[in-house]
Chains A and B, each alone.
Chain A
């Protein structure tokens, strides 16, 4: 008797256990790991954490571990190292231009293979076309725009007034830029420059700034397939000549290279009246500027122009079907008009889609603070950011060429011709 009872009891316990186990597996969240970069500093990590929390509250079956992973190149390094170690993140925000490198390493999935419903397919087409240029190759969409920017011109209106310039008419052409820049340079009694007219950063991402100058001179730096570069085109060489002349001939910019990391401080400390920088700095500049400042589109030589920039969402291939679905859900959620608006207000990055600017929050924000719309308005002149196979190596080639020209080690023509030769050697095997 005793034996039977204990047998029944253990059966009951077993049954309960199985029940609990199956219940818990129902409740077990799909866990996603995401890497994300911060390129401009500021309180972006808090904003990302808040968005992730909101998402988790709405989707209790998915938990997202968002890991801050340094700047863009650090994030790429981290994701690739994790991939080679066999444990890549499920999704990551990485520079949109890493598309070819990620495809060559068989790391990512095209979104076309993930979307199923008609609504989702429509979602793929809901972004500004200029922002999708770096997302698509071979008729597939490999990434979704998120933390996107263009280069804009920040200028100190007080300095414009002091120099007798109209603060509402920032330079619109290269000639005006030189003319106004020379007026904005101030010197002390000893002849020492106390405020420069203009600073364009030449460390960190010089190829990006150079993409803008080339575009303004009517040139692009590469083909769509990412297999050819045009560094030695005459128009491109002219663009680098111009950049160099700003410092050496016109004297409106410091000679040598200008540090990306300290440029914003230069502007806020009024050491330069104009800076070219990512629109991702906007909110930080707005919070910290002790003077009246304005934001304008970059000036034109032949036409206006800027590359787009910044990071996109990628979903990695080494994932299960559930993880992919969850990751897709997260990316969709993060890029809804309201979220995009919230992100844009919090950072200064672009609203990646037209309907984001129709949301109540962003509409009111732009009305109150018109500079927030400059980057968007500039999108119609925007072109793709330099993106080729073996991106890291080609970037280095071009960055070195730009720096060697700006520091006077080589002439712009020689520097760019050398860079083109090296890029040819690297890209030949991808044609």
Chain B
């Protein structure tokens, strides 16, 4: 009796020791910052000559009145709702396309993947000129067909969608790689079985391939959603959140508050909101969506 107990006891200790480094790192770089953020959001903005003071929920009250906050939040939801499904859909199509034996496959693969390799800042600079009125690429194409010139990024109605198109272009290639890997894992016997049973290719995709890709889809979706809140580099180059906050996103607004206005406490308040949103989405994805997924 006694030795078994001891063994189990030691197993416990052993297990804890093994996860300790990871727990330590995660607490240091994830949990501690979240708690410290929450703490700082309860103080006023401080400078060297005016130290910060405890103001309770004042920052949160201001947040509710802050028109810019609501605007960037709305922008961010539009941005997520457009970029996530489209980039995943396109990624899946591209993966299916280049999973077959087509001529020039490696060339196509490379060209699909290239946007992902380019740094976001470089991409933003290139697309800034694509969108330039009059002599930019898009206006030249439109002009060739007799279209009028557009002030793509200077018009609040179109600016956000211009950025969305660019981000989809940039992101799809990355997600394609995951789908491609998953497709190559599928066993060819299934395909053969499908052929024997006489299933059409759309039917086969709908009932076999797509369900088997669901674990990848979940993974890619989580990443895409997180990215849609995380990726703001292009704003710095292309619009600075303008015109009149039409393209500003939550993280960029946090950056502005923290590093242009030096109002770190309000930035902390906004960060708390961001963390809550991301936590809610992730919990939903894992708790609800994952239950419907079939793992092989």
Inter-chain contacts of B246 with A (CB < 8 A): 407
Q: How far is the CB of A283 from chain B (nearest CB, A)?
A: 22
Interface check A57, CB cutoff 8 A: no
Binding-face segment, A29-37, A61-69, A389-397: A389-397
Q: Which of B94-102, B235-243, B285-293 contacts A (4 or more CB under 8 A)?
A: B235-243
Given known contacts A262-B129, A399-B242, is B154 in contact with A390 (CB within 8 Å)?
Answer: no
Stretch at the interface among A159-167, A169-177, A250-258: A250-258
* B interface SS class: loop
A254-B154, A261-B128, A407-B154 as given contacts; A392 in contact with B244, CB under 8 Å: no
A257-B243, A399-B242 given; A104·B256 CB < 8 A: no
- Contacting residues of chain B (138-176) with chain A, CB-CB under 8 angstroms: 143, 146, 148-149, 151, 153-156
- Inter-subunit contact B48/A77 (CB<8 Å): no
Are A271 and B47 closer than 8 Å at their CB atoms?
A: no
B80 interface hit (Cβ, 8 Å): no
- Residue B77 is within 8 A (CB to CB) of chain A in the complex: no
Q: Give, as a whole number of angstroms, the nearest-CB distance from B70 to chain A.
A: 14
- Whether B262 is near chain A, meaning CB under 8 Å from some CB there, is yes
Q: Which residues of A contact B243 (CB under 8 A)?
A: 202-203, 256-257, 403-404, 406-407
A101-B262, A106-B48, A400-B244 given; A407·B156 CB < 8 A: yes
Interface residue ranges of B182-240 to A (CB < 8 Å): 239-240
A262 touches B132 (CB 8 A): yes
Q: Which residue of B lies closest to A400 (CB)?
A: B244
Inter-chain contact B128/A262, CB cutoff 8 Å: yes
Given contacts A203-B243, A271-B135, A400-B245, contact A255 B47 (CB under 8 A): no
Interface centre among B49, B128, B132 (most CB of A within 10 A): B132
Partner of B50, one of A81, A104, A403: A104
Q: Mark B258-286, 1 if CB is under 8 A from A, else 0.
A: 01111100000000000000000000000
Choose from B133, B256, B262 the contact partner of A396 (Cβ within 8 Å). B256
Are B154's CB and A256's CB within 8 A? yes
Closest to B155 in A: A256
Select one of B128, B133, B156, B244 contacting A254, CB under 8 A: B133
A393 touches B263 (CB 8 A): yes
User: Is B134 positioned at the interface, with any CB of A under 8 Å from its CB?
Assistant: yes
**What would 18 A/B residue contacts be, using CB atoms closer than 8 Å?**
A73-B260, A77-B259, A77-B260, A104-B47, A105-B47, A105-B49, A192-B143, A192-B148, A203-B239, A257-B242, A259-B154, A262-B128, A266-B132, A400-B244, A403-B242, A403-B243, A407-B154, A409-B244
Chain B residues in contact with chain A, CB under 8 A?
47-50, 68, 128-129, 132-135, 143, 146, 148-149, 151, 153-156, 239-240, 242-246, 256, 259-263
